[in-house]
Amino acid sequence: MALSATASDAAVPAPAVAVRDALRQATSHLHAAVDAGMPLSGPAPSLADYHAHLCLLRDWVRLLQALPGMAERLAAERAALNADIEACERLRGATSPAWAPAAAAAVPLAGSPAQHAARAWGVAYVVEGSRLGGQVLYRRLAAPLAPHPLRYLQGAGAQTGARWRAFLDELRAALDTPARVQAACEGAVWAFERLLQLSRHAAAPGERAA
């Protein structure tokens, strides 16, 4: 889906509690699709699947960085992905699949600076949220994929919950009108859809060498 520029920036306050509910409601079906369709979704993921997962996220983050305001915000995320991809390649003796720009449709960036800023919060919500799923995956895969330390999935480890709560506080403070919440939902849906689009271009689990 292209990001549309429909939301007006009316100065009507949004109830703080509604922000996360709105984002969840807009994206829960997409989360379910991501959960089912990623390289690590199979019953017994291999190191090759983990490598494919990291490469997919690297390409996704690179695409998200093209959005106004996102390049710097996601620089640490991209560096963490690249570091763990290198660790995988050392263990596997394999190299990364090439960046596939054809899979990443161009990003129409119409809209006011305020809309861009609110959409960027929606995109950040998806990236930050993915770290919660990373913790689930880490607990599931640490033993089967040892000795790889799965550093990217470990992320902030025990600090993940606190980091998420701090992010939600910032999100609620930034998305203080219904129009901003609406624009953030568009950004979050757009981010999930780009990930799903890229994952359709990646090899299915089982098609990769162990």
**Residue 39 · residue 56 · CB < 8 Å:** yes
| Residues contacting ligand HEM: total by CB under 6 A | 16
Residues 115 and 9: beta-carbon distance below 8 Å: yes
The residues in 25-44 that bind ligand HEM, with binding defined as CB under 6 A, are 31, 34-35, 38
Cβ of residue 39: shortest distance to ligand HEM, in angstroms? 10
Assess whether the previous peptide bond of 147 is cis (omega < 30° from 0). yes
Rounded least distance, CB 34 to ligand HEM, Å: 5
- Binds ligand HEM by CB under 6 A, chosen from 5, 8, 16, 24: 24
Q: How far is the CB of 21 from ligand HEM (least distance, A)?
A: 8
Concatenated DSSP letters of 63-107: HHTTSTTTTTTTHHHHHHHHHHHHHHHHHH---PPPP-GGGS---
Q: Which is nearer to ligand HEM, 20 or 78 (CB)?
A: 20
SS3 call for 36: helix
Output the smallest distance, CB 93 to ligand HEM, in A.
Answer: 26
| 118-141 burial: b if 16+ Cβ within 10 Å, else e | bbbbbbbbbbbbbbeebbebbeeb
Within 133-192, the residues that bind ligand HEM by CB under 6 A are 133, 136-137
Q: Which residues bind ligand HEM (CB under 6 A)?
A: 20, 23-24, 31, 34-35, 38, 125-126, 129-130, 132-133, 136-137, 195
